[in-house]
Amino acid sequence: MDIRRDFADAVGHTPLIRLQSASRLTGCEILAKCEFANPGGSIKDRTALGLLLDAEKTGALRPGGTIVEGTAGNTGIGLALLGASRGYRTIITMPSTQSKEKIDALRVTGAEIHLVPAVPYANPAHYAHVARRMTEELNAKNPGSAWFANQFDNVANRDFHEATTGPEIFVQTGGRVDGFVCSTGTGGTLAGVGRYLKANKPGVTIALADPAGSALASYVHTGELKAEGNSITEGIGSTRVTANFKDAPIDLAWSIGDDESLPLLHALLAEEGLNVGGSSGVNLAGAIRLARALGKGHTIVTLLADAGTRYQAKIFNPEFLRAKNLPVPVWLDRAFPAASD
């Protein structure tokens, strides 16, 4: 029998799936790690577990303690579910601009949620700073009772992806991976997977797919953090270099607009039955760009980070898309006809 012990033991070992249309289009094998298959529904289950295991090992998080984190949603969901399975209380701060579906998914975990305005990281009201202050206040009342997960600058995030996600990809492809590409928020996945693959296959190409409005592609190209445009995609992109991102071994980087990523995302559902979130569309666009940069016959791996049901009111809402001057596929109009129809 193959039985997992608990929630934590069910994290990872996700399937790798061939993306048919992208593979035909490019003449490459475009493969995607199905991270929506994690028990909490996203790749951030891995991040949450890596941070939590490190905190338990170092004693930063004590039995019966409180987990505090600032998150756009998915890391909070992972932490809250892991916390529930291990006897911890969880407090989450997150921007009020995140999707209602993701906020609701976090609420039902039993976590204590504090919605705060969406402001730049330099602003003291940024959700990460609010979480840090809350941790300090809890520890002032009861020393050692709370732990700030700090997913952006706690390199246990990167190290866990280097120890798990990277090796899984290498084994699943039989070592025949020529390129890896994904978007990034904290930097943990891209840096961790990149470090592992580079160490085991030095010729592999590591690429960043960055949503419009993020400054990271600019940073890779010029060393300057310059953001242009905007995106409806949640949970990825940044205007600062995190500790996790700092040493990521990136060879190529692209800024990808919603007008490029969303049609790919919609087609992935309509043609291949894969209902995934906005970051997965950016990742797929990056995989196609990387395949074209390397040429036919290569094997490219990317990520399907979470499910599209966490963003339905945005990326699968014709009225919302039109309001943003973004393309709406015919099948989506049929599924959600206008109120006047």
**Is 44 annotated in the active site?**
yes
Which residues does 96 contact at the CB level (< 8 Å), separation at least 6? 115, 116, 117, 118
Give burial (CB, 10 Å; 0-12/13-18/19+) of 324. Answer: middle
Catalytic residue among 44, 102, 198, 246: 44
Which residues does 83 contact at the CB level (< 8 Å), separation at least 6? 52, 67, 89, 90, 111
Which residues does 121 contact at the CB level (< 8 Å), separation at least 6? 128, 129, 239, 240
Which residues does 149 contact at the CB level (< 8 Å), separation at least 6? 48, 51, 52, 55, 67, 68, 69, 75, 79
Catalytic residue ranges: 44
